[in-house]
Amino acid sequence: MEGQELVLHSGNRIVSFTLRDFAAMAFRRRRIMLLCFGGILLGTLLSGLLFPSYRAQTEILVRRQRVDSAVSPDQGSPMLVSSLVTEEEINSEVELIKSEDVLRQVVLQTGLDKRPSIAGAIFGPHDPERKVAKAVDRLNSSLGVDSLPKTNIIRVTYSSSNRQMAAHVLEVLNAIYLQKHKEVQRPAGQFEFFNKQVESAKAELQAAEDKLKQFPKNTGTANPTLSRDIALQKVNEFNLSLGQTRAAIAETQKKIDSMEQLEKTTPARLTTQMRQQDDAPVLQQMKSTLLALELKRSDLASKYQSDYPPLQELDREIAATKATINGERPLNDVTTDQNPAYAWMNSELVKEKSELHGYQAKAAETETLVRETLASARELDAQGIEQQDLVRTAKAAEENYLLYLRKREEARISDAFDQQSILNVAIAEKATVPSLPAESPLMFGLIGTFLALTVSAGVVFAVEYLDPSFRSPSEVEAVLQLPVLAAVPDKNWSPAANGLGVQRPVAAEIASSVPSQGA
């Protein structure tokens, strides 16, 4: 044992300690050691007996009992929810319990900020807000919030010298935490918000439906899109008819041109019979006249001379009559009839010309109908776009109304859940007033003993370290570097005079009288 030494360096002093030296140190300072040990042990036991600490606890179960729908513009909010509670969710609830907002309300409701303190008694009252902040810090340090391994349970403990207060603090904490959980999981006022939105959406839907109902009365068309399609179909039919009419006009015009060319080379009449014969009645009359003239000349010639003027006149008439009779030719009797081809061409030409005028009139009328129908189709298309816009507006208003109606019902159900306290957390174990202290007297005794031993040893060592006197020959040799020949105790030195309760050796005086070997 003496071979194990503890060497301390303190300035110019080098002190070597063995276990025997430590034991001697304890014996030299036994009065101080006993006083410190007894005082600390007694104080610890008295504090444990007079000011016991009572620990109340409560347990909170985190479960998956309800799932609030997300507030989104979707018609439905399908959510795949697992029945297992994750570690992140449990840790979130732990942090929510330890949040400053929750602890502050607990302090204000339980009056922890109004409890007297030693600092307040010494330095006077503090600012109320500062007192609340200090009370929150004390509560946070005294509050134990832990999640139990492999469970969905959170254990909350609180220690206080007043067992009624310990249970009361946890009860208030549970109530405030549940309210805070509801506020965090689903903000308040959703039902009122969606109720207002439902009324607004209903008014917008009614206005949109009224405009949609008034549209046929204002435009005179129930379904502009269908009417436009029918009009466009008619335009196609009119264009087809116009094309056919124009083709007929071209065909008829070609027929008329060819018939007019053919008509120029076709005679209007045809000769059906030709006869040559004399004009017997005329010749007979002329011959009768000639005979009468000759009889008259003969009668005059018998009575008058040849130079008689009437006789000469008769001669000229007779000569003329003979010349006429001699110059008379036979008559040609030609019989003609209407040419059937010419008549057919003429009738067909008239017919084709009349048909051409009809086709032209039809084409002009069809073009007018096409323009009017196209104009009507454009107007109907604009009306159809306007009606579709009204329909979209009404449909969007209806979707919004149904969405807000559904969300309002979900909010109403969530409010009903909140009123019935149907939450994803529940108080598994309520806080009860503890009957026994958190620590037993035996534990206080063990703690006091350990603390008393530690403090007593520290005090003894500090006193020995601060004492400038020599207590053993080894110290003299270590400090003075001189050999000690003998050590004689000082009979006149008493513990009362020293104030430390130990005998003072005089080895330093003897050693100082011996010259050093180096000298």
Per-residue model confidence (pLDDT) at position 239: 92
Give dist(CA 194, CA 189) in Å, integer: 9
pLDDT digits (tens, 9 = 90+) for 185-194: 666 667 788 8
Give dist(CA 350, CA 491) in Å, integer: 177
Highest mean pLDDT among 71-75, 111-115, 146-150: 146-150
What is the distance, to the nearest Å, from the Cα of residue 310 to the centroid of all Cα atoms in its chain?
Answer: 144
pLDDT at 11 exceeding the cut of 50: no
Strands 153-160 and 143-147, by their bridges, are antiparallel
pLDDT digits (tens, 9 = 90+) for 462-501: 777 776 666 666 666 766 777 777 766 655 544 444 443 4
Give dist(CA 130, CA 113) in Å, integer: 9
Across residues 248-275, what is the average pLDDT?
82
Across residues 370-390, what is the average pLDDT?
89
Give dist(CA 131, CA 345) in Å, integer: 128
pLDDT digits (tens, 9 = 90+) for 286-334: 778 878 888 877 877 777 777 778 777 888 888 888 787 776 666 566 6
> Which sequence spans correspond to the domains of the chain?
5-50+439-512, 54-185
Mean pLDDT of the chain: 75
Confidence of residue 433 (pLDDT cuts 50, 70, 90): confident
Cα–Cα separations (whole angstroms), residue 284 to 202, 206, 291, 330, 503: 124, 118, 10, 14, 219
Across residues 386-402, what is the average pLDDT?
89
Element (H, E) at 343: helix 340-419
For 499: left if phi > 0, alpha if psi spans -120 to 50, otherwise beta; the answer is left
Q: List 147's β-bridge partners, or say none.
A: 154
Give dist(CA 474, CA 479) in Å, integer: 9
Q: Under a CB-based contact definition with an 8 Å cutoff, are residues 172 and 156 in contact?
A: no
What one-character DSSP code corresponds to residue 112?
G
Of residues 148 and 519, more confidence is placed in: 148
pLDDT at 234 exceeding the cut of 70: yes
Of residues 303 and 153, more confidence is placed in: 153
Q: Which residues of 303-328 are buried (b: 16+ CB within 10 A; e: fewer)?
A: eeeeeeeebeebeeebeebeeeeeee
pLDDT at 264 exceeding the cut of 80: yes
pLDDT digits (tens, 9 = 90+) for 82-129: 557 788 888 888 888 888 888 888 888 888 877 765 555 454 456 788
